[in-house]
A and B are shown apart, each in its own frame.
Chain A
Amino acid sequence: MKRNATIGKANMKNLDQENSGSKELGLDLKELSSQECSRTKKGIVFTLEALITFSIFIIVISFVYILVQQQNKSSTLYQKVFLDDIFQVLELKYHDDIVIFEKEGTVSDSLKEYLQFIKDSTGESVFISFNKRIFSPDPLCDLSNPQMTTKRLVIYPSINITENLSEINSSTIDSSLVKISYFHSLILGIC
């Protein structure tokens, strides 16, 4: 009986020890979980701060970009329309003069007068160019650095020989080598 009683006491002691150990462990777990919680909270706050700073940064940059965009000249569209209008007038009234300019390089008096009139009445110096032929009524016109140019097609038939003429005798020119080209690009610009 005594033996049984001592065994029972020893078992009880073991159980008590186990209970106290689990209590200590439970406290440690609570501390650990609270620490982890505060860490995650800090992480979330940090991420939010970073996001807010980043969004403010993006907003400021976009508004600076808008402000910079505003400084672009808005008259470029009007200049484009202006050049298109001049080409239309040239086609309606000075088509033959343009063809002579493109073929021979000579500028007729009426075309000169018209471009001079445009310069006097609008203040814009306009030049016309085809291949290496350039004409502007303004001698101070800087043709190397024009403000704006536009390319338009002038339609007239012109003979174009596809191969080098020096190598072929004129009497033996094959008709297949001779082509008629109708479209010729004229460059109009403001300088």
Chain B
Amino acid sequence: MKIKSSKGMFSIDASLAVVILLFMSFIVYFLIQSLNSSFAYLNGRQKEMYLLVMSDEIVRKEAAVKTNTEVISNKISLDLLESYFDYLKSKNSSYGFRYIEIKLFSEDNQMVFSRNISYQSVSNISNMSQQFYCIQRPVLYQNSQSDYSTSIPSVLKVCAQ
């Protein structure tokens, strides 16, 4: 007994195979796309954390005050900002950022401090398609480190790329 089989150009089996193949290729494309976006997202999160740590370096300091170790938080001085900026300049890069901008706005929205540093040429920075990351830290600032009497409310804005 011979079993009759439906063989032809448009057989059901072949059509199903094509559909499954297309489905599988879509899944593979989907997986690759998801992996790619996941890595980009993780990279972005890492940059955000780096920026937070970098702004913490400016905002929080551990210091020995009258023999006790004390964390001085949200109290900065222009002298310290300048010295931190010099420290950044002495490095080749900071937390993988190629461009860093630090601005300090006082109570009447007056810019008290503004510096930027680029670890590459300016032309490259303008062409960069990388995302800018910014963080705002409300702080109190003093004109100099020795001037403890006056502290002015201000907002420190740190941006990096």
Task: Point out residues on A near B: beta carbons under 8 Å.
Answer: 56, 59-60, 63-64, 66-67, 70, 74, 77-78, 81-82, 85-86, 88-89, 92-93, 113-114, 117-118, 120-122
Q: Which of A67, A81, A86, A113 contacts B135 (CB 8 A)?
A: A81
List which B50-109 residues lie within 8 A (CB) of chain A.
52, 59, 73-75, 105, 107, 109
In the assembled complex, 30 residue pairs joining A and B whose CB atoms fall closer than 8 Å, in A order, are A60-B27, A63-B31, A63-B34, A63-B35, A63-B38, A64-B34, A66-B38, A70-B38, A70-B41, A74-B48, A77-B48, A81-B135, A82-B136, A85-B137, A88-B73, A88-B138, A89-B138, A89-B153, A92-B74, A92-B151, A93-B140, A93-B151, A93-B153, A113-B107, A114-B153, A117-B107, A118-B138, A118-B155, A121-B155, A122-B155
Q: Which of A70, A92, A114, A120 contacts B37 (CB 8 A)?
A: A70
Bound CA span A74–B43, Å: 12
Contacts of B31 in A (CB 8 A): 59-60, 63
A85 in contact with B45 (CB, 8 Å): no
Bound CA span A64–B151, Å: 50
Bound CA span A56–B135, Å: 41
Contacts of B160 in A (CB 8 A): none
Contacts of B137 in A (CB 8 A): 81-82, 85
Please classify the interface of chain A as helix (H, G, I), strand (E, B), loop, or mixed, using the class held by over half of its residues. Answer: helix
A74 in contact with B44 (CB, 8 Å): yes
Tell me how far the C-beta of A63 lies from the nearest C-beta in chain B, rounded to whole angstroms.
4
Question: Nearest B residue to A67 by beta-carbon distance?
Answer: B34
Question: Nearest A residue to B133 by beta-carbon distance?
Answer: A78
Question: Nearest A residue to B153 by beta-carbon distance?
Answer: A114
Question: Nearest B residue to A88 by beta-carbon distance?
Answer: B74
CB-CB nearest 3 A-B residue pairs: A63-B34, A88-B74, A85-B138
Q: Which of B34, B138, B151 contacts A82 (CB 8 A)?
A: B138
Tell me how far the C-beta of B95 lies from the nearest C-beta in chain A, rounded to whole angstroms.
16
Bound CA span A31–B18, Å: 37
A74 in contact with B155 (CB, 8 Å): no
Contacts of A67 in B (CB 8 A): 34, 37-38
Contacts of A121 in B (CB 8 A): 105, 109, 155
Contacts of B151 in A (CB 8 A): 92-93
Contacts of B153 in A (CB 8 A): 89, 93, 114, 117
Question: Nearest B residue to A126 by beta-carbon distance?
Answer: B138
Bound CA span A121–B107, Å: 9
Bound CA span A149–B41, Å: 26
Question: Nearest B residue to A79 by beta-carbon distance?
Answer: B136
Contacts of B139 in A (CB 8 A): 85, 89
